[in-house]
Structure 1
């Protein structure tokens, strides 16, 4: 067991994890600014990007690059400096370090070397999008970026499709249409979902609807800016043994007898059987 008292013995080295704005610079807290000013160095994912932030808040602390391509080289250097009593502020390009960004390996190295790790609260895209999405805010699961390759992505979604918490994914504007199409294919078209883009910026936008509606919208519209995709959790509604052996038409009639309207029954059958509503509607009226 290890016990950390974050603010005892100020002369010891400390790693501060500093969140930076995801769009609007006014979201930078006073404490974050002060820590970056007091730090010996700032470990930055992209020094050019962070320099714009430093210039805006008149922070003169020197930077050292720290990203996925050099972290193995940098971590021993940082540990040595922290062990000698220096203070390092670690930042990613936007939002929380370690959340789909560099940082975790440095945190674990510090813990292994009994160096204090202090996280500052601040902006994070997933939670910001979640609380305004209209989907259940808890429980939730943050996944981040899904695999890019189709086969791997579909396999991953198959493992997630019956998870009950609201699910949060990150996606690029270039891949969001394909990803939504795959999620609709695996999770079912009637699952509610929300896309949020350009968080905290002038063109912030929420798209709320079913996965089918979002898929169809994206077929005709191109999005700009990094996106958050939020999908409602699995409701727990699966076919019971009696419904399992029914035809689509019999299943609809069964639900109508249970008190649902024909429209509601068609929607529910499509959801439970992971089919398109049009297919269920056609099957019901033709047969």
Structure 2
């Protein structure tokens, strides 16, 4: 069972309180001490809550999600792909609440001037968590594409293609929500450049994931088309064999009947005559296929 722990950092003009895997009792205490809204505390405890921003008279409330999964785990839901951090902040205080350990939260050692600077730094680190998954998805799609066209398409798993497409689609939606929330945040003049940099990163990531998603869709359609073409080739080959052997089987079937009065059975050249007819039928079928460009 993961234990709850709280880390408090006192700066010159403000305090930062970081709470990891909080219990309801500890959050109730924090809420009472800082006059935080009950429903926002409830939102910060909900594992699957989507990004949001709310402005209160004395503080701002923010929820964002960082990418915490790997492409190889086969995750296909927002909860499996990401984890959230809830922020309560104003000019004197920053409170961060989360269930998962984040390395970038523990590696902060810079002397910040106000909570806004730490907030933007953490948001920037959360945005960066989406960069490596996008690169892995892109590399995976390129690898599958080469396998389909240059190697053996049967080595490609339809399940893998499904996971790639689902992960790209869900992550893109999550980034859109992330972007909508960031657009609502207001910062002081000195921090506007840092906020704009975050917005630019989000636009770039959304475009990259959009391209990955489009490539995944195209790759899936290509795989299905190649698979269908191979199946059609097999059916074509079987049809050609059937076209040759069905009339020959018909002739063989007739002369395989055990009737007493079959004049051809007494012909001296009957066997060779029948073989000649069968050869002629095969030749006619072959020439017809060639004329129709089936062969």
TM-score, with normalisation over the residues of structure 1?
0.25
Comparing both structures, which one devotes a greater share of its residues to strand?
A: 1
**Could you say which structure has the greater relative contact order, defined with CA pairs below 8 angstroms and 6 or more residues apart?**
1
- What is the TM-score when the length of structure 2 is the normalising length? 0.25
More helix by share: 2
Task: Please tell me whether Structure 1 or Structure 2 has the larger radius of gyration of its CA atoms.
Answer: 2
